């Protein structure tokens, strides 16, 4: 659930701009807000954040949290934070999370602050992001080295659907991954779920000196926000959730909705592609183009191509490249060019798209995104391992997947979480957010990663929830810079004007 390609470009821009002359920022120390905090938690809620210049117009700091909030006197971890100070009349601190789970908030804000957030927010708020526990520089989950992670993410056995050989291969791989995560991450693997993260966020709010949490969450960041509001409703200030996750859904319900939404996004991409003379599927209609993609996936499973660096470009790599490109309509022409090159025997562009999605650079992985995403998700919700149930669910996924002819794992469920070495601590639940003020929810009708129905559902669960809808394609709404959406969001944050429900675009 992330805007991976745009985020990768944003981080690259930050690197290119790092050499620009920016005067160092003075060190700032916060005065924490500890009203109503228990004695056991006061050492954490009462800590002072010492913000120091870390280049590019940002300040950075770390905060200390207990590894296990149920045992605050036990082991401790460090959380990494970054701040972009308000450039005008300051209203307070606006916490933000870009999604994931597994995306570094520190890297995202450093790369995207000036291009992603509107001037009104930059003028009036100290924007603060953090690496949630288990992610980036905050007690990161560690499972595999580069070659092992390549194999785990992209190995694609040419075995028939429903065969015991395929089931054994997938489940053995899932068990090995889970064991490696436990061996290399230790006890913290049991404490990286969203329940712990929202407690961290409440502590960070207090340490920043804020009595209320102002928060802007995207994608999985909306799940953080919704669960925070559900537990700490009276402490919510102004909150906007864009690209909403529905907390009431099971893991399978999420997978089924995602499969349908990505299928719809694939059809939207192909309709757009077929309108251009350069489309690699020219001469076909949408159904014909889907059939050609399925055939290509099957061919690559049987006989992978080789990228220039020697890595296999198989059906898993192509499927990842396709899904990654459906997050952002601006990536569609890039996908078309990559597939056209693949059909001409040059697979490197497809490999590059897949690499961008999983944060893989030339020398290895640049983040622990796809280790953290499993660690968090497997703690947040249970999954079934019942064979009859999995087969029935597989039939539903097959019916929803336009590329089902090339997918041989729909009946295997979430094998990783089904074999995870730590028991889940969370469960699907409808949120009530008792005591919270109205919360604004954004949804995009063609969002493949967080389907529009999830935004509708979340807005309905929240007391006084307001839904702002964007007709269009791609993941999340605010990034599209549509005034009809962004002006309402900015006014809500800056002067508290609660918008009415509206559909834009």
Q: What is the DSSP letter of 462?
A: S
pLDDT in tens, 219-278: 999 999 999 999 999 999 999 999 999 999 999 999 999 999 999 999 999 999 999 999
Which among 138, 469, 475, 490 is annotated as catalytic? 475
Which of 455, 427, 450, 442 lies closest to 488 in space, CA to CA? 442
**Which residue is associated with the tokens 């050989």?**
165
Q: Please confirm, yes or no, whether 275 is among the known catalytic residues.
A: no
How high is the pLDDT of residue 1?
A: 39
pLDDT higher than 80, residue 157: yes
Name the 3-class secondary structure at 445. strand
CB neighbours of residue 283 within 10 Å:
9
8 Å CB contact between 55 and 19:
no
pLDDT higher than 50, residue 5: no
How high is the pLDDT of residue 58?
A: 98
CA distances from 230 to 223, 239, 428, 462 (A): 10, 13, 13, 9
pLDDT in tens, 207-236: 999 999 999 999 999 999 999 999 999 999
Which among 104, 138, 219, 367 is annotated as catalytic? 219
What mean pLDDT do residues 98-115 have?
96
What structural domains and CATH numbers belong to the chain?
4-139+195-249+432-504 (3.40.50.1820), 143-191+259-428 (no CATH)
In whole angstroms, what is the distance from residue 214 CA to residue 198 CA? 14
Which among 355, 447, 469, 490 is annotated as catalytic? 447
Mean predicted lDDT score pLDDT of the chain: 94
What mean pLDDT do residues 471-482 have?
96
How high is the pLDDT of residue 17?
A: 30
**Which residue is associated with the tokens 């288990």?**
134
Q: Please confirm, yes or no, whether 475 is among the known catalytic residues.
A: yes
Strands 92-97 and 440-446: unpaired
Distance of CA 142 to the CA centre of its chain: 18
> What φ, ψ does residue 288 adopt, rounded to 5°?
-65, -40
pLDDT in tens, 402-420: 999 888 888 778 999 999 9
8 Å CB contact between 83 and 106:
no
How high is the pLDDT of residue 430?
A: 98
pLDDT higher than 80, residue 11: no
How high is the pLDDT of residue 22?
A: 52
Q: For 12-26, 59-73, 225-239, 470-484, which range has the lowest pLDDT when averaged over its residues?
A: 12-26
> In the structure encoding, which two tokens stand for residue 383, read together?
């999954």
In whole angstroms, what is the distance from residue 352 CA to residue 350 CA? 5
8 Å CB contact between 7 and 41:
no
How high is the pLDDT of residue 16?
A: 28
pLDDT in tens, 18-34: 333 456 778 888 888 88
**Which residue is associated with the tokens 């995306």?**
103
pLDDT-derived band of residue 14, with 50, 70 and 90 as boundaries? Answer: very low
Q: Please confirm, yes or no, whether 447 is among the known catalytic residues.
A: yes
How high is the pLDDT of residue 201?
A: 99
8 Å CB contact between 339 and 280:
yes
In whole angstroms, what is the distance from residue 249 CA to residue 50 CA? 39
Stated as kind and residue range, the H or E segment containing 400 is: helix 387-400
**Which residue is associated with the tokens 């308000």?**
86
Long-range contacts of 36-40 (CB under 8 A, 24+ apart): 37/206, 40/72, 40/73
> What φ, ψ does residue 128 adopt, rounded to 5°?
-130, 130
Name the 3-class secondary structure at 295. helix
Kindly report whether the peptide bond that precedes residue 196 is cis, defined as omega within 30 degrees of 0.
no
């Amino acid at each position: 659930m992330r805007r991976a390609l745009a985020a990768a470009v944003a981080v690259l821009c930050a690197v290119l701009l790092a050499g620009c002359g920016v005067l160092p920022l003075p060190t700032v120390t916060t005065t924490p807000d500890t009203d109503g905090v228990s004695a056991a938690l006061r050492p954490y809620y009462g800590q002072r954040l010492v913000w120091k210049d870390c280049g590019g117009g940002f300040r950075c700091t770390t905060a200390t949290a207990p590894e296990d909030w149920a045992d605050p006197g036990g082991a401790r971890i460090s959380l990494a934070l970054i701040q972009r100070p308000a450039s005008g009349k300051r209203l307070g601190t606006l916490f933000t999370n870009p999604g994931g789970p597994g995306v570094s908030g520190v890297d995202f804000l450093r790369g995207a602050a000036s291009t992603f957030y509107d001037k009104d927010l930059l003028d009036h708020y100290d924007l603060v992001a953090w690496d949630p526990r288990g992610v980036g520089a905050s007690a990161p989950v560690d499972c595999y080295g580069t070659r092992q992670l390549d194999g785990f993410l992209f190995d694609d056995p040419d075995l028939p659907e429903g065969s015991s050989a395929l089931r054994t291969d997938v489940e053995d791989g899932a068990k090995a991954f889970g064991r490696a995560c436990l061996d290399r991450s230790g006890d913290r693997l049991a404490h990286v779920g969203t329940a712990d993260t929202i407690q961290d966020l409440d502590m960070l709010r207090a340490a920043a000196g804020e009595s209320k949490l102002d928060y802007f969450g995207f994608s999985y960041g909306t799940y953080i926000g919704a669960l925070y509001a559900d537990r700490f409703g009276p402490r919510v200030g102004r909150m906007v959730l864009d690209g909403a996750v529905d907390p009431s859904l099971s893991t399978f319900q999420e997978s089924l909705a995602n499969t349908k939404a990505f299928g719809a996004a694939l059809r939207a991409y192909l309709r757009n592609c077929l309108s251009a003379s350069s489309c690699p599927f020219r001469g076909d209609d949408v159904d014909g183009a889907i059939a050609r993609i399925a055939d290509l996936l099957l061919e690559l499973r049987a006989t992978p191509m080789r990228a220039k660096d020697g890595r296999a470009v198989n059906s898993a790599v192509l499927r990842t490249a396709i899904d990654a490109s459906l997050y952002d309509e601006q990536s569609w022409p890039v996908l078309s060019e990559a597939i056209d090159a693949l059909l001409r025997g040059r697979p490197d562009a497809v490999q590059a798209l897949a690499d961008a999605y999983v944060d893989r650079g030339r020398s290895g992985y640049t983040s622990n995104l796809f280790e953290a995403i499993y660690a968090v998700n497997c703690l947040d919700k249970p999954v079934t391992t019942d064979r009859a149930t999995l087969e029935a669910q597989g039939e539903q996924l097959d019916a929803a997947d336009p590329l089902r002819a090339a997918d041989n794992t729909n009946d295997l469920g979430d094998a990783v979480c089904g074999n995870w070495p730590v028991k889940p601590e969370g469960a699907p639940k409808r949120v009530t957010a008792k005591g919270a003020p109205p919360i604004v929810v954004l949804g995009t009708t063609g969002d493949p990663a967080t389907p529009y129905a999830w935004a509708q559902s979340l807005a309905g669960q929240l007391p006084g929830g307001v839904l702002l809808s964007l007709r269009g394609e791609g993941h999340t709404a605010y990034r599209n810079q549509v005034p009809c959406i962004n002006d309402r969001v900015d006014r809500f944050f800056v002067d508290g004007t609660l918008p009415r429900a509206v559909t834009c675009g």
